[in-house]
Amino acid sequence: MTDDIAPYSHVALEGTVTTDEDPERLRKWATTIAGKYMGADRAEELGAQNGAPGEQVCRMKIVKINGMSSVTD
């Protein structure tokens, strides 16, 4: 992630990513994330929409984090 305006900040994560296409886990996480960002009233609707075949849950085992803030102004 990098800020688009000054003062700039930057974060980089390094690690191993695994993917999961299990329908039950996919719908569970899609519903949980939808509830957090779109509200509990839409969680089930968006969980069903985004927890569909062809989608994936990605997990990262982070081994290194680099970050800098206020790089320039």
The model's pLDDT over 64-73, given as tens digits with 9 standing for 90+, comes to 999 988 877 6
C-alpha to C-alpha distance for 64 and 32, rounded to whole angstroms: 26
7: its two tokens: 């003062």
pLDDT in tens, 26-66: 999 999 999 999 999 999 999 999 888 899 999 999 999 99
SS3 per-residue string spanning 21-44: CCHHHHHHHHHHHHHHHHCHHHHH
